[in-house]
Structure 1
Amino acid sequence: MQTPSTFKTASLSLCFSVGAVLFSSHAGGGFATGNQENVYFVSLGWLGPVTAIITMLLFTLTIKEAMNMYNSRHLRSYKQLFQNLYSPFKGIEVLFEAFFYIMVIMAVSATVSGAASALAAQTGINYYAGIGIVGTIIFFLTIFGAGLVRRATTYMGIAILAMVIAIFSVGVYMGGSVEGTMFFTQAMAQDFAVNGFSKLPTAILHAFTYSGFQCVVIPTMIVVGMPLVTRKNCATSMWFSFAMNAIALTLAVCMLLGWTGIYGKSPLPTLTSLKSMGMTWLTVAYSIFLMLCLISTGVTTVFGFTARFSEIHMLKKVSKSAVIRSAIVTFFIIALSMTVSIVGLTNIIKYGYGYCGYLAIAIIIVPFLTVGRYKNIRYAKDKAYRARIDAMNADPDSFEESPVMSTAKENA
């Protein structure tokens, strides 16, 4: 297994690969169906595309600081990451644990259920058989470690981005060609004339909330991003990801802005809009796109959970094989999520994303973009501070009595 110390710097292709993992995690079922765009961006009118870009900037900058903090200090778990972020305050990291567990169950349940429904609709396969098929695919793409996750989601990310550009560009171009639609520029101009800047406070809240609940992928990103040992590597990777995410999300919002008169309150805005265009190839491409989005999100979300719990002492007693331990943890979370998807907690999943997003603003987005950034910059420049933090990470239970830390305090 490669560790941060085995890398002096990361290649552009590796930076792109890690950025593609983040894009693949974002491009999930909510994005593919158009539900998330409609609720968080299209409802803002002309501010929607602008807010989408700002949201992706907040999201990628947050992940950049998280990866940099994790890699520079050679941490071993996301628990240590949040202990470093919240230090000297103790115990606050349990809030992220709660957020993470809830989001994993909701995200994977929605993924498995959505993919099974799509598979049943397109092929006629029984819904429950579809759940089993999708769960199995996610299982095998998850248990073999960060390398496979990085490769698989990179390929899926490239395919998703290509389909996003093709599908939504056609949708933007076709705006105004069907009764009840208009070009997105007309929709934006009309909304600006009516609402002006009245939706600006809502736009700011939506930007932080949306980027907040997407941060469920932090445990995955810090593992697949371990080769990015320098701050420049982390920044390069996240600029790649920002470009992919911003292009995809903004294109989707622009298309849906022109088709609101067609899909109305439909739970599937994108599919309803595409069917109205009368192009069979578009709906076929969309079906493939939807499946890739659902599976890629399932893989990246489950892997973060697996990476956290496959290394616990109890499982190491069960097996020395990392693959077997990963298989046990992955099977557990997928089985639990499949059970939830069968029971059908759709409304809880929908509303849960929003509430988890609010929590994430307070415990993830704001702390990483303020305190986290300050600590990362200081860690890179201040030798005394670096010695104190390294001592804390070496012995977190007694770091206050550490001689190294005491010396560092005196020198600081």
Structure 2
Amino acid sequence: MLKRLFGKDGGMYGVVSIALVLFSAHAGGGFATGNQANTYFVGLGWTGIVSAVVAMLLLTAMLKEAMTMYNSRGLKSYKELFETLYHPFDKLEIAFEVFYYIMVVMVVATTISGAASAIKEYFGFSYASGVVAVSALTLVLVIFGASVVRVVESYMGLVILVTSLVIYAVGSFKGDGILNVLRLDFANSGFDNLPKAFMNGFIYAGFQCVQIPAMVACGGVLKNKNEVSNSMKLSAVINALALGLSVAMLLSWKSYYTVVDGGTTLPTLTATKAMGYEWMTVFYAISLILCLVSSAVSITFGFVARFESASVLKRVSDVKVRRFLVAVFILAVSMLISMAGLTNIIKYGYGYCGYVAIVLIVVPLLTVGAYKNKKYLSEREYKNFANAEPVNEI
């Protein structure tokens, strides 16, 4: 669809497609459930909207520097990216590897937990049954149908974007009404929550750093610095709009979903059901489950691809068997973590990883990374990343 609109070889195609890839990854990683927004932003009142916007500006600014560094130097892996960022302290890259593997498990656990919670909420199955069913489906698709799911995921991102924006726009003016909620909150708390709002923005952007390896891998279609910049600006607008509106909608319905049994697990679905639009609820529930499952498959497949050739598995000659063993391992660990519940994973797992990422990734990319990119590009004056060759920087 995007190819027909912008042309496969046009710069605009790459700019828009990469912007939507980030939104799809953001949504599929749990944002679409509303749990992340409720955990990190809604409790802050009106400043929660500010915090959401700050988080998206930080995330896209980091990705801009990461993709510029990756493409301009002709790097081949996220390992090389972080070695370049941390140089001359190249071994710090190992710290990112550890962080990344932990976050991969957390994200897969979140997608499994989110999909299982949606199945429980809408179809009435038990949570444990949902976890097992989603994990089994993910395993089958990783082994036999990952390529199909990756295609479906891009469309699911668009479906979730449109559906979510409709729900958020309509829902914000129902419930307690966003304007009334913001007025009362400002009268009661003023600017008291602003420092925490900025901190939560950094934490949220921190645990979203798990998107970096996937984004730099697919960002090669961006041919120059301007395309990278424009893509991330567009993505900042899309993600900030969607996340900010989700916070606004949840603020309007907070007094309802917080008193409903299990309402805070999938607050967006709970609020949508309360609005009374059955077609919207059905459409959202199905697209949410598909989006979460497709994200679980894509993330698990990436992990499998990374370790299917590990020395410990060399005795296994059949590649599908190796993939099966790695997939079973990651899904078993993720299933175990998912039993803690979606809210606990996001509150504690994502939260602690977010703090680590601020020091390990956020600050280095926005300071050292930005400086290295500016210096590197000014010396070489690259207009097109296709001319880039791998280099060792001092």
TM range (shorter): 0.7 to 0.9
Give the Å deviation of 1:390. Answer: 3.8
Structure 2 match to 1:398? none
TM-score, length-scaled by structure 1: 0.80
Match of 1:222 among 200, 208, 216: 216
TM-score, length-scaled by structure 2: 0.83
Which 5+ residue runs of structure 2 have no aligned equivalent? 1-7
Q: Tell me if structure 2 keeps the 8 A contact 1:49–1:254.
A: yes
Structure 2 match to 1:195? 189
Structure 2 match to 1:381? 378
Give the Å deviation of 1:28. Answer: 3.7
When structure 1 is superposed on structure 2, of 334-343 and 34-43 the one drifting more is: 334-343
The structure, 1 or 2, with the larger RCO (C-alpha pairs under 8 Å, 6+ apart) is 2
Q: 1:75 aligned to 2:43?
A: no
Q: Tell me if structure 1 keeps the 8 A contact 2:272–2:281.
A: yes
Structure 1 match to 2:5? none
Give the Å deviation of 1:99. Answer: 1.5
Query: In 2, distance between residues paired with 1:319 and 1:72?
Result: 38
Percent of aligned pairs with the same residue? 49
Deviations 1:362-406 (A, max 9, x none): 11111111111111222222249x9xx9443xxxxxxxxxxxx8x
Deviations 1:240-276 (A, max 9, x none): 3222211211111111122222223642322332333
Give the Å deviation of 1:128. Answer: 5.4
Give the Å deviation of 1:75. Answer: 2.0
Query: Counterparts in 2 of 1:1-400, with a 5 A limit?
Result: 11-28=11-28, 30-123=30-123, 130-139=130-139, 151-175=151-175, 181=176, 183-264=177-258, 266-268=263-265, 269-310=267-308, 329-341=326-338, 347=344, 350-383=347-380, 390-392=390-392
Number of residue pairs matched by the alignment: 380
Structure 2 match to 1:399? none
When structure 1 is superposed on structure 2, of 301-310 and 75-84 the one drifting more is: 301-310
Helix, strand or coil at the partner of 1:108: helix
Give the Å deviation of 1:88. Answer: 0.8
Query: In 2, distance between residues paired with 1:40 and 1:148?
Result: 34
Deviations 1:104-135 (A, max 9, x none): 11221121133123224434556555445433
When structure 1 is superposed on structure 2, of 133-142 and 79-88 the one drifting more is: 133-142
Residues 205, 345 of structure 1: alpha-carbon distance in 2 compared, 3 angstrom cutoff: closer
| Structure number, greater radius of gyration | 1
Q: Tell me if structure 1 keeps the 8 A contact 2:39–2:347.
A: no
Residues 94, 167 of structure 1: alpha-carbon distance in 2 compared, 3 angstrom cutoff: same
Deviations 1:124-161 (A, max 9, x none): 55655544543355456656899767633321110001
When structure 1 is superposed on structure 2, of 114-123 and 37-46 the one drifting more is: 114-123
Give the Å deviation of 1:300. Answer: 4.6
Instruction: Supply the AA of the counterpart residue of 1:373.
Output: A
Q: Tell me if structure 2 keeps the 8 A contact 1:147–1:224.
A: no
Give the Å deviation of 1:215. Answer: 1.0
Q: Tell me if structure 1 keeps the 8 A contact 2:38–2:264.
A: no
Residues 342, 37 of structure 1: alpha-carbon distance in 2 compared, 3 angstrom cutoff: closer
Query: In 2, distance between residues paired with 1:9 and 1:287?
Result: 36
When structure 1 is superposed on structure 2, of 350-359 and 253-262 the one drifting more is: 253-262
Which 5+ residue runs of structure 1 have no aligned equivalent? 1-7, 176-180, 393-404
Helix, strand or coil at the partner of 1:76: coil
Query: In 1, distance between residues paired with 2:361 and 2:338?
Result: 27
Residues 61, 141 of structure 1: alpha-carbon distance in 2 compared, 3 angstrom cutoff: farther
Query: In 1, distance between residues paired with 2:243 and 2:342?
Result: 27
Instruction: Supply the AA of the counterpart residue of 2:348.
Output: Y
Helix, strand or coil at the partner of 2:75: coil
Q: Tell me if structure 1 keeps the 8 A contact 2:110–2:345.
A: no
Structure 2 match to 1:178? none
When structure 1 is superposed on structure 2, of 21-30 and 151-160 the one drifting more is: 21-30
Deviations 1:186-214 (A, max 9, x none): 21122222222111110110110001101
Q: Tell me if structure 2 keeps the 8 A contact 1:187–1:258.
A: yes
Residues 159, 137 of structure 1: alpha-carbon distance in 2 compared, 3 angstrom cutoff: farther
Instruction: Supply the AA of the counterpart residue of 2:279.
Output: W
